[in-house]
Copies of this chain bind each other. A is one copy, B any other.
Amino acid sequence: MKKKDVKILLVDDEPDILEIVGYNLSLEGYQISTASNGLEAVTKAKKEKPHLVILDVMMPEMDGIEACEQIRKVPDLSDTIITFLTARGEDYSQMAGFDAGADDYITKPIKPKVLVSKVKALLRRLKDSNEEVADDIVKVGDIVINRVEYKIIQNGTEIILPRKEFELLSLLASRPGKVFKREEILDKVWGNEVIVGGRTIDVHIRKLREKIGDDHFKTIKGVGYKFVL
């Protein structure tokens, strides 16, 4: 997801806070909208479906805790990350925040740099959870992919794959039939910082074709590869 497509809803009853936090986050390229109390927050959240909600705990009309609970009840917002703004030194242990479904706390006074890096960290979590769930066992066609033990079983035969091959297969098989663009594969298997040569994917595909079976991997020229059953 592009940074500028990330929507953040900022909720606080102090206009100063809204402005300074909003300013710093918009500098980073996020889409910011604001609300000044819990009710407004819930309404806007439903309408705008933000990816992240930053909620002051103490507010008139409806406090942050309750707003958080309300937001958590909305199915469309199940992936939304909620973080509280709270005064430093409050007793976290008896805070109802996490019970209400919060993901994190940010303490006042707010340091812009800290805030921004915290937000980045939280949104990274969003990205991770959006990508397919990593940790378990899936059967797809004649293949069982065991992500826990890093092995695959095909017709009862166990096959141990090296990490990159395993992850590549794992990705392709996570959506049989879907074509994964080369770019997408690089993003998800290699990570978008690493730069590898143009033939790297092909070589790994070739090894998979050898080990798993030629017919399972189909090339779509100019686009990418797909796994077929």
- Which A residues contact B (CB, under 8 angstroms)? 27-29, 73, 75, 78-79, 92-93, 98, 102-107, 112-114, 116-118, 121, 124, 129, 132-133, 135-139, 144, 146, 148-150, 153, 160, 162-163, 174-175, 177-179, 220-223, 226
Contact = CB atoms under 8 A, between A and B. Distances in A.
B139 A98 contact: yes
A221 B160 CA distance: 10
Contacts of A223: 150, 163
A98 B175 contact: no
Contacts of A226: 149-150
Majority secondary structure, A binding face: mixed
A113 B163 contact: no
9 contacts: A28-B75, A28-B78, A92-B137, A93-B149, A114-B135, A117-B129, A118-B136, A124-B175, A150-B223
A75 B114 CA distance: 14
A116 B78 contact: yes
Contact of A106 (B121, B136, B146, B222): B136
Contacts of A73: 27
A221 B162 contact: yes
B117 A121 contact: no
A174 B226 CA distance: 24
A104 B117 CA distance: 21
A92 B133 CA distance: 18
Contacts of A124: 175
